Amino acid sequence: MEYQLTAEVAPPADTPELDPLQRHGVAALLDEQLDLLAGIEGPDGVEVEPLDHRIAVHPAGAIVTWLLDAPALSYAEESARHVLTELLAQTELLEGWNVGRCEVIASDDDLAAALGETDLLDDDDDEQDRELTDEEIAALRDELRGSADSLRAFGLEAFGHRADDPDSPVSEDAARLVAGAVVQAMEILTDELFADVQELEDAEGSAAEVEALSVLNQLPMRYAEHYGALFAKQFLVVTAILGYRLSQPGWTPPLCTAEALALHVLKAETGVQLDLAGLLDELPLKEIWAAFDEHVLTDSDHERIYDLDSESGEDEIDLLGTPGLDFDEWFLPRGTDVLHPYLSSEHYIETYLENSAE
């Protein structure tokens, strides 16, 4: 099971506050050391796999947000504390630093709950989560604000902020926090898709047979048997194109159905990042996501594919009249140009037919 863990590391008590250059150096050192970890041996020799991490440094120390794959919560916490303690001891420039709080703040169940919009997490789950300190929350929010500058496809108006309206329901800071969460969510989504590709290649199966997936299991599960390794690679390419487009000035609506689905998953992961920063109850997310959908989408047709997984009564035949919604059309461009050779219709349809035959 995957666990989102937060660890606090701090210098000796008599250390002056870190200046901006020192904070940058600490972040670089921790990031470099954590990148080198291929695996962690936990208690009783149990293997714990580090999947992703983020570093947020503040004047009094640093916060490590870590995504780990472990058999149980206790293994994740004990392994992370042990590894971080060893890492600090072996890093000369961090001599004397120590690990403080090291706790899991979200599990697979919590992350899956982020598939909604305004009700991203169930109230009962919230009560079970560990609370962050004010210092940790401030550092995570500063990190979100800093990441917002990387989102150049549109401005804060896409999140409902009206700069010329003093009564705007979405403040500039609220819009900036969500914009930063979108950027960080894209980074995590990309990492998780690489992991999904590897899982499917190792299993030589589909999402219908492999449970340890992070992204593909957020797509309409009616077609899970078609989500094999090649599909995952193609969806990764679409997500990479989306990430590039979000970082460039100017925006055009989704270039294919698969990209609209990638945006759907990106919003869910954005919710996870906002939750980690304790923002779900502080932001007017209903207004924010309504403005976002209106700004970035031309329609919500892709949502109908999810309806096939529900008890809505909609049948697959109802999708055939809408271009791009049939499964073998998800990667077809809505314009005239091929988005990427790896997504060419011949290549994709051939893969779809092979998977169907199996």
Q: Residue-wise pLDDT tens for the chain (358 aa)? A: 788 888 888 899 888 888 878 888 888 889 888 888 867 766 566 788 888 888 888 888 888 888 888 877 777 888 888 889 988 988 888 989 998 888 876 655 554 444 344 343 344 444 344 566 788 888 889 989 999 999 999 999 999 999 999 889 999 999 999 999 999 999 989 988 998 898 899 889 899 998 778 899 899 888 899 999 999 999 999 999 999 999 999 999 999 999 999 999 999 999 988 988 889 889 999 999 999 999 999 888 888 888 765 544 455 555 555 667 888 889 888 765 667 877 875 555 555 455 555 5
Check residue 120 and give its pLDDT: 38
Quickly tell me which residue has 């695996």 as its tokens.
Answer: 39
Quickly tell me which residue has 């409902």 as its tokens.
Answer: 160
Q: Is 69 left (phi over 0), alpha (psi -120 to 50) or beta?
A: beta
Per-residue DSSP letters for 185-243? HHHHHHHHHHHHHHHHHHHTS-TTT----SSGGGS-GGGGGG--HHHHHHHHHHHHHHH
Check residue 210 and give its pLDDT: 87
Instruction: Show the domains of the chain with their CATH numbers.
Output: 2-115 (3.30.70), 143-357 (no CATH)
Per the CB < 8 A criterion, the answer to whether 285 and 270 are in contact is: no
Check residue 283 and give its pLDDT: 93
Check residue 82 and give its pLDDT: 87
Check residue 246 and give its pLDDT: 96
Check residue 308 and give its pLDDT: 67
Check residue 337 and give its pLDDT: 67
Q: What is the phi/psi pair of residue 118, to 5°?
A: -70, -30
